[in-house]
Amino acid sequence: MSEDADALRARFLAELDRAETAEAVEAVRVAALGKSGAVTALLKSLGGLAPDERIRVAPVFQALRDALANAVEQKKGVLAAAALEARLAAERLDMSLPVPPEPLGSIHPISRVMDELAEIFADLGFAVAEGPEIEDDWHNFTALNIPPEHPARAMHDTFYIGGDGAGRVLRTHTSPVQIRTMTGGRPPIRIIAPGRVYRSDSDATHTPMFHQVEGLVIDRDTHMGQLRWTLETFVKAFFGVDDVVLRLRPSFFPFTEPSVEVDVGCSWEGGRLQIGGSGSWLEILGAGMVHPKVIANCGLDPAAWQGFAFGCGIDRLAMLKYGMTDLRAFFDADLRWLRHHGFGALDVPTLSGGIGA
């Protein structure tokens, strides 16, 4: 009987070896291991054998069954792998084909710089304050110690808004936010106020609308040395330059006393501006100690509270840092310009990731 088993093994293995399709493998399996298969018949025959004989041949028959079953599975696997390989080969595509374009959005440099300012000054404890752009005369001028006859109030500088409730202007600076902050809350105060401002001016370097940021610190004993430190700290962080030298020059603004204009040391190597050193000077902002009259106009006692304010052009900061040359392009919404000078949506300025370019 075991001779039969050897013959069957050899026969079916040979048939399996010749099988080239899944159907052929299945036919071999049915012929060997199916209900009426030859190996199944052998196993069935065990029942009729004498116990001694059964004990002897049963393992042989069972081993034959297992070997053939394994061989069938293995052959099926080989054929399936070959079939998959053939299918995949047929599915080949040209991977050099271009993908559909996805539009790239961008953040305007002004927004970027405002975010940078907020990030830097937040670290110094400054909040971001806001105020209306259509202002009344008192907040834009009077409270800031700009008297009615001051030339800044003249038609050629200020846009006036018509209609009822006369005395409304488009704010000419962000300084009225100082007034709103001081009248709206109690010191100590540390704020910056970025935003749109308007002047009746239009030429190569002026646009009738532009952006300023105002800074205000009011406390018991805030002084000009702290103003200098604040501005130095800001300029270093903003331009990402450690070797920053500031030059403070006495100047005049109606709302500060003493007043200073602040120059930053720079160089112009190869016609390109580099912040740092003290080879040349570039005027970047105006500042000073808040005028006692302004503090009093806000209902605070100038003998008890004092502090500094500063203001500078955001568009100009952006130009100095990122190298744009034409202010008017900021407001033209030319997609070529926005793509070139804009910032990615995920490019968020952070202190840990860096504020610099």
Partner 1 sequence: MKVPMSWLRRYLETAADAEAIAAALTRLGLEVEGISNPAEALRPFTIARVLTAAPHPQADRLQVLAVDTGAGEAVQVVCGAPNARAGLVGVFAPPGTHVPGSDLTLKVAAIRGVESRGMMCSARELGLGEDHEGIIALPEDAPVGVPYARWAGFDDPVIEVAVTPNRQDCMGIFGIARDLAAAGLGTLRTPQVPALEARFPCPVRVAIADADGCPAFFARALCGVRNGPSPRWLKDLLEKAGLRPVSALVDVTNYFAIGLGRPLHVYDIAKLEGGLVARRARAGETLHALNGRTYTLDETMCVIADEVAVHDIGGIMGGMASGVSEATTDVLVEAAWFNPARIGATGRALGITSDARARFERGVDPAFVGPGLEMAVAMMRALCGGEVSEAVHVGQPPALDRVIAFDPATTRRLSGLDVPAAEQRALLERLGFAVGDDWAVGVPSWRRDVEGPADLVEEVVRLVGLDRLASVPLPRAAGVARPVATPGQLLERRVRRALAARGLAEAVTWSFIAEAEAEAFGGGAHRLVNPLSAELAVMRPSLLPGLASAAARNMARGERSVRLFELGRRYLAEGERVTAGLLLAGEAAPRHWKTGKARAFDAFDAKAAVLAALAAAGAPVERLSVRQPGPAWYHPGRSAELLLGKAVLGVFGELHPARCGDLGAVAAAEVFLDVVPASRGKRTAFQPSALMPVRRDFAFLVPATLAAETLLRAVEAADRVLIAEVELFDRFTGPGVPEGQVSLAVGVTLQPRAKTLAEADLAQVSAAIEAAAAKVGAVLRG
Minimum distance between the CB of residue 269 and partner 1, rounded to whole angstroms? 22
Interacting residue with partner 1 among 43, 261, 282, 313 (CB under 8 A): 261
Name which of 198, 183, 215 is nearest 289 in CA terms.
215
Checking 59-66 for CB contacts under 8 A at 24+ apart, the result is 60/1, 60/2, 60/5, 61/5, 64/5, 64/8, 64/9, 64/39, 65/33, 65/39
**Residue 7 engages partner 1 in binding (rule: CB under 8 A):** no
The structure tokens listed for 256 are: 């500060």
Distance from CA of residue 216 to its chain's centroid?
28
Q: Which is nearer to partner 1, 9 or 153 (CB)?
A: 153
Interacting residue with partner 1 among 67, 69, 128, 282 (CB under 8 A): 128
Interacting residue with partner 1 among 46, 257, 267, 274 (CB under 8 A): 257
- Residues in CB range of 74: below 8 A, 6 or more apart: none
The structure tokens listed for 241 are: 């330059």
Count of positions on this chain that bind partner 1 (CB under 8 A): 89
Q: Which is nearer to partner 1, 51 or 225 (CB)?
A: 225
Q: Which of residues 47-86 bind partner 1 (CB under 8 A)?
A: none
Minimum distance between the CB of residue 52 and partner 1, rounded to whole angstroms? 56
Interacting residue with partner 1 among 18, 92, 272, 336 (CB under 8 A): 336
Q: Which is nearer to partner 1, 76 or 228 (CB)?
A: 228
Minimum distance between the CB of residue 267 and partner 1, rounded to whole angstroms? 19
Minimum distance between the CB of residue 26 and partner 1, rounded to whole angstroms? 35
Binding mask 144-183 for partner 1 (x = CB under 8 A): ---xxxxx--xxx--xxxxx----x-x-------------
Minimum distance between the CB of residue 56 and partner 1, rounded to whole angstroms? 53
**Rounded to an integer, what distance in angstroms lies between the CA atom of residue 59 and that of residue 55?**
7
Q: Which of residues 221-250 bind partner 1 (CB under 8 A)?
A: 221-226, 228-230, 232-233, 247-250
β-strand pairing of 189-198 with 127-128: parallel
First-last CA distance in the chain: 88
Confirm if 157 and 200 have CB atoms less than 8 A apart: yes
* Piece in contact with partner 1 (CB under 8 A), picked from 21-29, 62-70, 234-242, 340-348: 340-348
Checking 1-5 for CB contacts under 8 A at 24+ apart, the result is 1/42, 1/45, 1/57, 1/60, 2/57, 2/60, 4/42, 5/42, 5/57, 5/60, 5/61, 5/64
Confirm if 324 and 341 have CB atoms less than 8 A apart: yes
* Piece in contact with partner 1 (CB under 8 A), picked from 1-9, 14-22, 72-80, 252-260: 252-260
* Cα→Cα distances 70→63, 77, 84, Å: 10, 11, 21
**Residue 206 engages partner 1 in binding (rule: CB under 8 A):** no
**Residue 331 engages partner 1 in binding (rule: CB under 8 A):** yes
Question: Treating both helix axes as pointing N-terminal to C-terminal, what angle do 38-45 and 2-18 enclose, rounded to 10 degrees?
Answer: 160
Confirm if 332 and 110 have CB atoms less than 8 A apart: no
Helix runs in 124-214, H state only:
137-140, 176-184
**Residue 309 engages partner 1 in binding (rule: CB under 8 A):** no
Q: Which of residues 268-287 bind partner 1 (CB under 8 A)?
A: none
Q: Which of residues 97-126 bind partner 1 (CB under 8 A)?
A: 97-108, 110-111, 115, 118, 122-126
**Residue 332 engages partner 1 in binding (rule: CB under 8 A):** yes
Interacting residue with partner 1 among 56, 335, 350, 353 (CB under 8 A): 335
Q: Which is nearer to partner 1, 49 or 331 (CB)?
A: 331
Minimum distance between the CB of residue 63 and partner 1, rounded to whole angstroms? 44
Interacting residue with partner 1 among 291, 298, 312, 319 (CB under 8 A): 291
